Amino acid sequence: MDLTRILQVLFSGLIIGGIYALIAVGLNMIYGTMRLLNIAHGEVIMLGAYVTFWLYTLYGISPLVSVVAVMGLSAALGALICRWIFFPVISTSKSVAVLESNSLLIFYGLSIIFTNISSLLWTTDARGYSYLTEVVHVLGVPLMKNRLWALGLSFFVCVFFYVLLQKTMLGKAIRALIQDKDASLLVGVNPDAIYYFSFSMSFALAGLAGCLLSMFYEMTPFMGMPYTITAFIVIVLGGLGNVLGSLLGGILLGLVETVGVSLTSPGWRPILSYALFILIIVLRPRGIFGKGVY
Amino acid sequence: MVSRRGLVTGPFGIALLVLALLPRWTSDYHVSVVLDVLMWVAVTESWIILSGYTGYISLGHSAFFGLGAYIMAMTWPQLPFLLGIVLAGVLSSVFALTIGLVVFRVRGPYFVILTLGLTEFILHVVVNLEIKLGGTVGRILMSAPSLATLYYAMLATAAAAVVTAYVVKNSRFGAGLFSLKEDEKAASALGVNTTLQKWAAYGISAFFPGVVGAIMALRHSYIDPYNAFDPMVSFQVIVMAFLGGMEEVEGAVVGAVLLTLVSEALWASYPYYYMIILGVIMIVTVKFMPLGLVAPFKGRLLARAADGSGAGA
């Protein structure tokens, strides 16, 4: 492999890795703060992709503009689901174990509902559009502009989140709640506010990821599940409840996947990621970083 | 007065008799609807043996269904029908016992997503193998047995699944499984061999979807990895089990019958609406009646039976 080829693989890895990081951070925030595992996360990505597609093909709105609307809508959906479904379930569940299994089943139901609503609205045929497909050369590597935008936006949001979690009061409250709920209540953290924030942020990030992905991949109502699984792989890599681990894990998985596929063939991609997932969950259920990176 | 045993075996025997005579009375269409109901009864009962009793929720029962279907596709028509379906069940159990050595190392949400991930993994492996071996993805099964043969095979499987779920629930083994759900550490401290029990329950549970998958492969006479390992199979089973009550042997039957009838009415013309309804039922059940439909009625019925025998004595 020559240098250009290596750089090209690295770039693709970073582009997809940045998006994985967005998806995984969102999924992990809800799990970390509320112990709810959202298996409908991929379906939110799918909805974000379709809304972007609609806004672009029907009204000609640039995906880079509609990203704001998509994030807002997703956040609102997240807050509604949190309010109408999960607050009651949290208050009636007797133990964490019951809450975990009940929430999984509810999210499972939501994922089925979203998938089938999309099948009704947009049919099951693959949809797509082309936007910003001009090629520019970065370090001699030909890249489409839309991918560069995706790379820039996802890394910007990742850095933003890193700063938010590490430096602000809100971030500290979130991390405190993840580490020790009772202790964080004692020092005055308002859990309900953080639950709302986690839900809407998580959904907004998934919507953002869908918006970015729609610029260069075709979409179907069934596209969500592989992303949910990928996000699980990432959060297991980085540790369940460990939000910063997810940021690193996402980028790492993106690189591993692209390098793996460039050495084998695209048909192997799902097999490689599922195999990695099974290995990690069985061998290192606490994540490769363990408890170190909070 | 009716004993508790009579309350259970009486209706079961009558139902079995009616179902056995059904093909003499009705059209092929009705027989095939009942065949579908029986299929879901069998798979749902097998699911509750593992997930309902122990609380280890499996999102991966479609893996065993698909495995059974593929074993049938590879052995039909070289092996006789009965041998083929038994082999499908046994190999599916063996497979569960093998992966069971690994999957029970984790619990809670890890277990749930691991079962989901494993099923997807198997699906993609089968897709790639099929392309490599055959060049195409689907397989056609020629000269399948008659509808009546398939129907009786499915009836026997469903009946066996109901009996197994019942026997397990009322045995010492079943008590051990329920104790896992309550408190696994305490159970293990009291001398329940938790690892062995989960493992055995997984093996038993995988047998029935394997058999059912084999029968359904012949019923549809065509399979490909996407319909054999359809994750919707796992999903429908969970909704059925929850609707009826995930710890109830009768609940699985009630859930399977109700939802198959809804599906019969909607699936062909409005598949998306049917799935949306399933999703809504799932959420509503978990939120408002976590015990399912059957448990409240059953409690009342048993209480009345106990009252009656008390008054008679």
> A224: alpha, beta or left, given left = phi > 0 and alpha = psi -120 to 50?
alpha
Instruction: List the single range of A51-60, A150-159, B293-302 with lowest mean pLDDT.
Output: B293-302
Find chain B residues with C-beta within 8 A of A226's C-beta: 120
Of A104, A236, A275, the CB nearest to B112: A104
Find chain B residues with C-beta within 8 A of A89's C-beta: 286-287
Rounded distance between C-alpha atoms, residue A102 and residue A98, angstroms: 6
> Where are any strands of DSSP class E within A117-206?
135-138, 141-144
Q: Is residue B255 part of a domain?
A: no
Mean pLDDT over A117-128 rounds to: 88
Q: Is residue B254 part of a domain?
A: no
**A135 secondary structure, DSSP code:** E
Residue B2 has pLDDT above 90, yes or no: no
Rounded distance between C-alpha atoms, residue A232 and residue B113, angstroms: 8
Task: Identify which of A158, A150, A145, A167 has the alpha carbon closest to the alpha carbon of residue A251.
Answer: A158
Rounded distance between C-alpha atoms, residue B120 and residue A229, angstroms: 9
**CB spacing of B57 vs A113 below 8 angstroms:** no
Specify which residues B223 forms β-bridges with.
Answer: B139
Q: What is the domain count for chain B?
A: 1
Token pair recorded at residue B97: 């016992």
Contact yes or no for A225/A42 (Cβ under 8 A): yes
Q: Which amino acid is at B287?
A: K
- Tell me the domains of chain A and their CATH numbers: 3-283 (1.10.3470)
Q: Is residue B87 part of a domain?
A: yes
Rounded distance between C-alpha atoms, residue B12 and residue B163, angstroms: 10
Alpha-carbon separation of residue A10 from A4, B106, B286 (angstroms): 10, 34, 45
Mean pLDDT over B168-183 rounds to: 87
Token pair recorded at residue A222: 């069934």
The complex scores an ipTM of 0.81
A27-39 tens-digit pLDDT = 988 888 888 888 8
Specify which residues B292 forms β-bridges with.
Answer: none
Rounded distance between C-alpha atoms, residue A281 and residue B290, angstroms: 29
- Alpha helices by DSSP H, listed for chain B, are 4-25, 28-47, 53-54, 61-75, 81-103, 109-134, 147-169, 172-189, 194-220, 225-228, 231-244, 249-266, 271-288, 294-312
Model confidence band, residue A292 (pLDDT cutoffs 50, 70, 90): very low
pLDDT at site B204: 95
**CB spacing of A271 vs B124 below 8 angstroms:** yes
Instruction: Give residue for tokens 């990895």.
Output: B225
A226-284 tens-digit pLDDT = 888 888 888 887 877 777 788 888 888 888 888 888 887 777 777 887 888 788 777 77
Of B103, B109, B118, the CB nearest to A37: B109
Rounded distance between C-alpha atoms, residue B11 and residue B6, angstroms: 8
Interfacial residues of B (vs A; Cβ cutoff 8 Å): 55, 57, 59, 102-103, 105-106, 108-110, 112-114, 116-118, 120-121, 124-125, 128, 131, 231, 235, 238-239, 242, 271-273, 275-276, 278-283, 286-287, 290
Q: Percent of chain A scored above 90 by pLDDT?
A: 26
Contact yes or no for A118/A224 (Cβ under 8 A): no
Q: Is residue B260 part of a domain?
A: no
B30-80 tens-digit pLDDT = 888 899 999 999 999 999 999 989 888 888 899 999 999 999 998 888 889
Rounded distance between C-alpha atoms, residue B289 and residue B209, angstroms: 27
B225-257 tens-digit pLDDT = 888 888 888 888 988 998 888 888 888 899 999
∠ CA(B68), CA(B71), CA(B75), 5° rounding?
140
Token pair recorded at residue A208: 């953002």
Specify which residues A138 forms β-bridges with.
Answer: A141
Q: Which domain holds residue B160?
A: 28-230
Model confidence band, residue A45 (pLDDT cutoffs 50, 70, 90): very high
Q: Is residue B289 part of a domain?
A: no
